[in-house]
Amino acid sequence: MRALLPFLVVLAACSGAGRLAKEGERSERAGDPEGAYASYRTAMLERPGHARARAGAQRTGQQVLMQLEAAASSAFLAGDHELGEQRWRTVNEFAARATAEGLVLRRDPQVEERRLQARRSHVAGLYERALQAFEEERFQPCRELLNEVLTLEPDHAEAPHLLRMAELEPKYRVARRAFEEGRWREAHGGLEVVLAGDPAYKDARSLRDAARANASYTLALVAVEEQGVAARATYAARVNGVPAALATAIKEELLALRDPFLVLVARDQTEALLAEQQRALDGIYDERTAARAGQLLGARYVLMTKLLRYEEGIGRHLEMQVNLMDASTGRIHRSELVHVAKQDLGRGASVRSLLIAKAAERAAALLKGFDPEGL
């Protein structure tokens, strides 16, 4: 009995494949190629060497493929791109599976041609709708349509330009409105974004430059006052040279802010005017003197720094008062007492360099975000 078992298994398999092949033949005679193919294919997979099943699968598989291609062509010819693409995927899946199972099916090249024609027509329609949406100032739908165009046709000649316009135009209009309403910094920021997308977009560059000019303010840096410290003999030697180095460091830190609205007045001009005024006023050096120097230089604001304490020895500290003053009114808009202690210092440079660098950084920070428009 055990010796007969393998034979019975083979017999059952042959019987199943033969029965399926006969079912395929009946379906084929009845004009049902899909049903016939399903039976033939199942029989072929159960028994790969079954000649009738494989021949039937090859024959009816070709018929099914032709039906699927005809359905896809019909959709493409009707201008239904979405339905055509859906049916096209079905054609490809069917053909790929048949090939993997050893069948050799012939593809109709005209279906691909109709597909490409339908795609070109569909893309043209999408672009026309996008163009209309742009003209109607419906920028979001315009961008969505153009993204679809570029997905279907990445090398489309006009879509990238129109897409950039649809992205930049609403930003340009917001920035231009801010410009017209005198909100200079907002306009400047918006126009910078526009120019980053297109350096030659309309008149964005000239508007940006005008907004920056209107939003800018001039700042005079006066010499660091050291009278209070230098008068003490015990500190005189150590303070010698520090004020000038501190003034230079503050200027460098202000430039490092990269504030497009901050216009620094040359410090050498400021110091020359201050020296002249100090001589005229018998050495008096105060806010009024600095403000007058700022006015003579055409600066709107003056940054004054007074060195109050300085020690390089054991104490290692620097303390100074920093005031941002309106040159025309004498009003102090921002003020800070800057104190740098030894615990604030890093390593790798001299104590003097570290104290000056840290103090200058904090002094320049007083100007961060300063906006005269908001005063």
Does domain 217-370 fall under CATH 2.30.130? My reply is: no
pLDDT at 279 over 60: no
pLDDT digits (tens, 9 = 90+) for 177-224: 999 999 999 999 999 999 999 999 999 999 999 999 999 999 988 878
pLDDT digits (tens, 9 = 90+) for 234-268: 455 466 788 889 999 999 999 999 999 999 886 55
What pTM value is reported for the model? 0.65
Least confident segment among 73-87, 162-176, 270-284, 286-300: 270-284
Alpha helices by DSSP H, the chain? 5-29, 33-46, 51-77, 81-100, 109-135, 139-152, 159-180, 184-197, 204-215, 227-230, 233-239, 242-256, 267-280, 287-297, 351-365
* Spans of all domains in the chain: 2-106, 122-215, 217-370
The correct CATH number of 122-215 out of 3.30.2250, 1.25.40, 1.10.287, 3.40.50 is: 1.25.40
Residue 333 and residue 325 in contact, taking contact as beta carbons nearer than 8 Å = yes
